[in-house]
Homo-oligomer: A and B are copies of this chain.
Amino acid sequence: MENRRPLILVTNDDGVDAKGIKSLVEMVEPYGDVVTVAPLHVHSGMSHAITVNLPLRYTSIREDGNVKVYGCTGTPVDSVKLALSQILPREPDLLVSGINHGSNASVSIVYSGTMAAVIEGCINGIPSIGFSLLDFRPDADFSASVKFGRKIVEHTLKNNLPDRTCLNVNIPAVTPDKIKGIKVCRQAKGVWKEEFDKRQDPRQGEYFWLTGYYEDHENGAEDTDEWALRNNYISVVPVHVDLTNYKALDILKGLNYE
């Protein structure tokens, strides 16, 4: 750590006015100078989308105590890019994203704007952590997230993170006294099974609402994030920005495509 206070970038995908991002600011405020740069509106399910066909704008929208809050017209990843390139006075010492209203455990990470912002930070060499609470409600109780999240933030500021690795932290929707601890896990195998809700518009045209349910493919393995969460542990999955499957690399190199 340098002598000056750490600079901490806060973002999310539920927008600058979500309760979750305010709780996230509360979580990290003791540890440094905090700047929030987040989408002006909800961007759930945006994953790592970037805005290439429209221009972007950002605007200073308020100061919460010492915390400067900027809103951006784009996606979570756009917000991170604008923050790093245009808004922050220097490279931040930490990026935190969330607290998401709803789980980003298991395969949900690939759809998540919260975690895309974290991965974007990590690609840029910044220690980056995403927090998600297993409660979709706008007025969800983030007290356990704030309390235990601080332990993870403190640890990360002190010890940094492994190379090209960020953290996907999920928190069970229970009060702090029910939390059994923090568990480092792997991403559970599973899939979202689609159940499109098929409807008719007033002109007899068909349309579909995307819906579905999570199907677990683990048979109760205890080293996964889904198991940890079901058992009231906070799950911490180290996420790699290198998507290469190195085991598969050896298998495929043995094949001959010619």
Contact = CB atoms under 8 A, between A and B. Distances in A.
25 contacts: A45-B52, A49-B49, A49-B111, A57-B207, A77-B111, A82-B208, A85-B194, A85-B196, A86-B196, A109-B243, A110-B116, A110-B123, A124-B191, A155-B257, A161-B248, A162-B251, A165-B245, A184-B249, A184-B255, A186-B246, A186-B249, A187-B242, A236-B257, A237-B243, A238-B245
A109 B243 CA distance: 9
A129 to B, nearest CB: 12
A4 to B, nearest CB: 24
A182 interface: yes
Contact of A110 (B119, B185, B237, B255): B119
Q: Size class of A's contact patch?
A: 35 or more
A84 B258 CA distance: 32
Contact of A243 (B49, B52, B240): B240
Contact of A237 (B77, B124, B244): B244
Contacts of A181: 257-258
| Residue of A81, A125, A151, A257 contacting most chain B CB atoms (<10 Å) | A257
B236 A252 contact: yes
A90 interface: no
A78 B196 CA distance: 11
Given A196-B86, A255-B159, A242 B45 contact: no
Contacts of A207: 55-57
Given A44-B53, A56-B196, 14 more contacts: A42-B53, A47-B116, A55-B207, A56-B209, A57-B205, A107-B241, A123-B192, A164-B245, A165-B248, A182-B258, A186-B244, A187-B242, A236-B252, A240-B248
A187 B248 CA distance: 13
Contacts of A19: none
A5 interface: no
Interface string A35-55: 000000010111111111101
Contacts of A133: none
Interface in A82-121: 82, 84-86, 107, 109-111, 116, 119
